Amino acid sequence: MKNLPTLILASGSPRRAELLRRLALPFEARPADINEESLRHLEPSQMAQELAVQKAQAVWQPGQWVLAADTVVALEGQTLGKPHNPQENRRFLEQLSGRRHTVYTGFAILKPDGAVHREVALAQVTFRPLQAWELEWYVQSGEGLDKAGGYGAQGLGMVLLERIEGDFYTVMGLPVSRVWQRLYELGYFGLEPHRPDPKEL
């Protein structure tokens, strides 16, 4: 595939940027500045989706393809955002220790004409029971301070996890397979989406 349009990534996340690089998609990171606190009243899945849409709309310009995503971690319906300090990071990890929680990653794609596709993916993550020294070790690393739920599954946080049910990349912050499929269906690759022959159904 040659001469693909530049995809505007409405995110400052180095993890999402790395995933797009792995796909060899041309992109430009353009972080969106929106008030995330104003959406805290929404259910976690709705919050993830709406944040993604608002981020995409904040940076979109006519004629551009824009991709935005947002990840929300929820434990029994309670949203765990990015911890504000090490003390809150420790509290989040203590809550997650030995329990299963849900990770929602919403994403939005804005087409050059402004049409928007929105979707949310989820995965279930189980932490193994953590010892006090492990909690302290991870908190002191500082890795969890810029991540929803206070941990990074792709980094040092990998040792905290017992099981992931669903797409790992949803936990990492971008459900890559679904994003790729939606880009194809929306015409980003310049290919006509396959339509099954009625006889095949």
Q: What is the pLDDT of residues 11-20, one digit of tens each?
A: 999 999 999 9
> Given pLDDT bands bounded at 50, 70 and 90, which one contains residue 39?
confident
pLDDT at 195 over 70: no
Would you call 113 a catalytic residue per the annotation?
no
pLDDT at 185 over 70: yes
**136, two tokens:** 């302290």
Return left, alpha or beta for 94; rule: phi > 0 is left, psi -120 to 50 is alpha, else beta. alpha
In this prediction, residue 44 carries a pLDDT of 94
Is the distance from CB of 144 to CB of 152 less than 8 angstroms?
Answer: yes
- The mean pLDDT value of the chain amounts to 93
**What is the percent of the chain where pLDDT is above 70?**
95
The 10 Å Cβ neighbour count of residue 4 is: 15
The domain spans of the chain are 7-191
pLDDT at 1 over 70: no
Of 33 and 62, more confident: 62
Q: Is the dihedral of CA 103, 17, 7, 51 positive or negative?
A: positive
In this prediction, residue 201 carries a pLDDT of 53
Amino acid at 37: E
Residues 172, 38: Cα–Cα separation, whole Å: 24
Helix, strand, or coil (residue 166): coil
> Given pLDDT bands bounded at 50, 70 and 90, which one contains residue 34?
confident
Residues 59, 74: Cα–Cα separation, whole Å: 27
| Bridge partners of residue 68, in order along the sequence | 108
pLDDT at 193 over 90: no
In this prediction, residue 37 carries a pLDDT of 74
> Given pLDDT bands bounded at 50, 70 and 90, which one contains residue 3?
confident
* Active-site residue, selected from the candidate residues 33, 70, 113, 146: 70
Please give the CATH number for the structural domain made up of 7-191: 3.90.950.10
pTM: 0.91
Is the distance from CB of 179 to CB of 107 less than 8 angstroms?
Answer: yes
Average pLDDT value for residue range 181-198: 84
The 10 Å Cβ neighbour count of residue 94 is: 12
Average pLDDT value for residue range 112-133: 97
Can you give the length of the chain in residues?
Answer: 201
pLDDT tens-digit readout, 171-183 = 999 999 999 999 9
Among 189, 187, 182, CA closest to 69: 182
